[in-house]
Structure 1
Amino acid sequence: MVGSAAVADRTAATDGAPGAQLAGFTVGITAARRADDFAALLTRRGAEVVQAPAIRLIPLPDDVQLRQATARVISSPPDIVVATTAIGFRGWVEAADGWGQADELLGALRSARVAARGPKVTGAVRAAGLREDFSPESESSVELLEHLLGAGVSGCRIAVQLHGAATEWEPIVDVCSALRSAGAEVIEIPVYRWLPPEDPRAVDALLRTTIDGGLDALAFTSAPAVAAMLGRADDNGLLEPYLAALRGQVLVACVGAVTAAPLTRLGVETFQPSRARLGALARELAEALPARAVQVRAGGRELSIRRNCVVVDGAVREVTPAAMALLRELVRSPGRVVSRTDMLRALPGGSADTHAVDSAVARLRASLGDGQIVQTVFKRGYRLVTEQERR
């Protein structure tokens, strides 16, 4: 919020202006990778962004297990390679390159059939000079596993690039176990691990903000981040109120169905863009959030009432907290007279002087840029002027 002196100075047209599409909305993001890029996409559209990386990615280029697994693949090339994440597959090749073994590794993989879990992984596979033989449209490990088992894997040597650790919130399909049970020899490739953030204070603050109703939307870009937030809420004894917030007032946005899966299992409704990309997710938020704002026509004007501002006929108008509280009270029943006493109760701060209402209404009118939207009803209170009354 800004003071009343600055209110009249900052207006922006929302129509065709990306910088105002998300004005007045607060979005929480939990991304670990490309968090700043995603935040920039949202702030460019006017959003206030609260960042709290829920996880941290620990690459393992010098890990003994990874080097040993890579040596096994080079010495005896696999029949099938399962690539589960783009960052993981790239990390494997980059680690091998750091050891001077990239050419040997890629040479060993060229003779294998490659199963890639989704388009981003496929892109990483192709960037390495390989071609995928199968990639499920659903980006689902279940569909990928069903395809492999359906084709028959008994006697096959299969390298599986792992993607972090499973938790009760993100029960990753145990592809390796299922393949072994079907008669395959499996080489596990542990490229990286997801770990909690070293300092959980930002995550804890985001949890509390979500529960307290301080967010309009919460965005997730990976299933491990979803699992980490759920786990932290559970550790803090806040799981039920956190889930209640996600099922209620907060718009939950996920980059794709795989990311959304842990929340879907818990009855949380989410939405995803048609393409699992950060840019697409930002664009979807820029359309979905304004559609959820309170829309009212008053005083011949179109008002979109958001958390931290009001859009009047397409122009962003910043409003002080007191004035916004009164506007929300008036919007409950456009045209109905709201007494000064009722409006006083709506004011933050617990003032006992009805003159505070008159002052806040004056600031509201100045902020909206039109003194005819809110009408004074002599000795009774105030009301929004409806369209019928303007005619």
Structure 2
Amino acid sequence: MKLAIMRTKDKAEESVAMAREMGFEVMFASPLELEELDTPAFWRFVEELEAGRVGRVMVTSSTAVKYMFKLLEKRGKATSVFTLLNRRGVIAIGPVTADAAKAKWLKVEAVPEKFTSDGLVRLLEGKVSKDETVWVIRSDQGSDVIRKGLEAMGAKVEEVPVYALRRSEPDRALLDMYYFTVHGGIDAFAFTSSMSAKAFIEEGERKYGVREFGTSLNAAIIGAIGEPTKRTLESMGIDVDVMPKDATFEGLLKALMDHIRQRE
């Protein structure tokens, strides 16, 4: 069973190893690349934290933890800032983000039951006071679910992007994935974000045409990591067969394998 995985290249080794361990033959490619964002917004967050004016902090991905640490390390502030954050801890979007934080000795205050932006909002229902400021460490992409949800509770939201997601120039691995999507050889796809799904499909449609590429994708088993990715795929005419209960990569792989075994 050949599985196509699309994640950023920094997650290639762990993704391929996990999928192979579950019994998949793997094709990995990345339609996206990461870029550090060193912006005034981030250093204003640090200044506010050092002045004692930062309360709740949310971190929306393990990649956000990684780039926050890199930015702080560049100025020799990682230890002092993480010490300040540890007075309360951060709220992590899910267990993978929590593990990344703990690996940097960053205390995790809470993890929502549902590992999504909506889950983060629900976690704070009834806990956020009017005009309280919640800081959100994230990428420059993504939905406005957190901001709108918290603002509806009366909170003020400060979004702090620490990395950017950019569409990458197709390399050999990505070109091969497009080719085998259309000409056969890929049994299932694991879509792990709305942006990677959109980037992959739009480029595939440009190369092969909307109808041919869409028909080829729909001939395979399609897995979406969570609701936002599922909605993006469906809006582009792609039928989603599998979505895990927990929005994690491991959960997606397990759900795909369960689906495949049920079909056999």
Normalized against structure 2, the TM-score is what? 0.77
Paired with 1:182 and 1:273, the residues of 2 have a C-alpha distance of 29
CA contact (8 A) 2:217 2:238 kept: no
Secondary structure at 1:132's aligned position in 2?
Answer: strand
Shift of 1:79: 1.9
What letter is aligned with 2:76?
G
Count of residues paired in the alignment: 261
Matches within 5 A, 1:1-391: 25-32=1-8, 33-42=10-19, 48-60=25-37, 62-112=38-88, 114-127=90-103, 128-133=105-110, 135-166=111-142, 172-180=143-151, 182-199=153-170, 202-236=173-207, 238-247=209-218, 249-255=219-225, 259-263=229-233, 268-272=239-243, 288-289=259-260, 292=263
What letter is aligned with 1:136?
P
State percent identity of aligned pairs: 23
Q: 1:287 to 1:189 in 2, by over 3 A?
A: same
Q: 1:138 to 1:129 in 2, by over 3 A?
A: same
Paired with 1:149 and 1:226, the residues of 2 have a C-alpha distance of 31
Determine which structure has the larger helix proportion and give its number. 2
Q: 1:42 to 1:176 in 2, by over 3 A?
A: closer
Paired with 1:199 and 1:208, the residues of 2 have a C-alpha distance of 12
Paired with 1:286 and 1:148, the residues of 2 have a C-alpha distance of 34
CA contact (8 A) 1:31 1:53 kept: yes
Shift of 1:58: 1.6
Q: 1:269 to 1:93 in 2, by over 3 A?
A: same
Paired with 1:256 and 1:207, the residues of 2 have a C-alpha distance of 23
Shift of 1:181: 6.0
Secondary structure at 1:190's aligned position in 2?
Answer: strand
Paired with 2:20 and 2:123, the residues of 1 have a C-alpha distance of 42
What letter is aligned with 1:162?
R
Paired with 1:280 and 1:115, the residues of 2 have a C-alpha distance of 21
What letter is aligned with 1:165?
Q
Q: 1:70 to 1:228 in 2, by over 3 A?
A: farther
Give the gaps of 5 or more residues in structure 1: 1-24, 167-171, 294-391
Structure showing greater Rg: 1
What letter is aligned with 2:35?
I
RMSD in angstroms over aligned alpha carbons?
Answer: 3.4
Secondary structure at 2:241's aligned position in 1?
Answer: coil
Single out whichever of 280-289 and 144-153 deviates more from structure 2. 280-289
Secondary structure at 2:109's aligned position in 1?
Answer: coil
Secondary structure at 2:3's aligned position in 1?
Answer: strand
Cα deviation, 1:139-189, whole Å, max 9, x if unaligned, reads 1212322443543442212211123314xxxxx134235545654343322
Q: In structure 2, what is the equivalent of residue 339 of structure 1?
A: none
What letter is aligned with 2:217?
L
CA contact (8 A) 1:126 1:132 kept: no
Single out whichever of 228-237 and 81-90 deviates more from structure 2. 228-237
CA contact (8 A) 1:77 1:111 kept: no
Secondary structure at 1:138's aligned position in 2?
Answer: coil
Paired with 1:45 and 1:79, the residues of 2 have a C-alpha distance of 41
Cα deviation, 1:56-96, whole Å, max 9, x if unaligned, reads 12233x44443343233323432211111122123213421
Paired with 1:262 and 1:273, the residues of 2 have a C-alpha distance of 16
Cα deviation, 1:247-274, whole Å, max 9, x if unaligned, reads 3x20123455565453355562232556
Secondary structure at 2:124's aligned position in 1?
Answer: helix
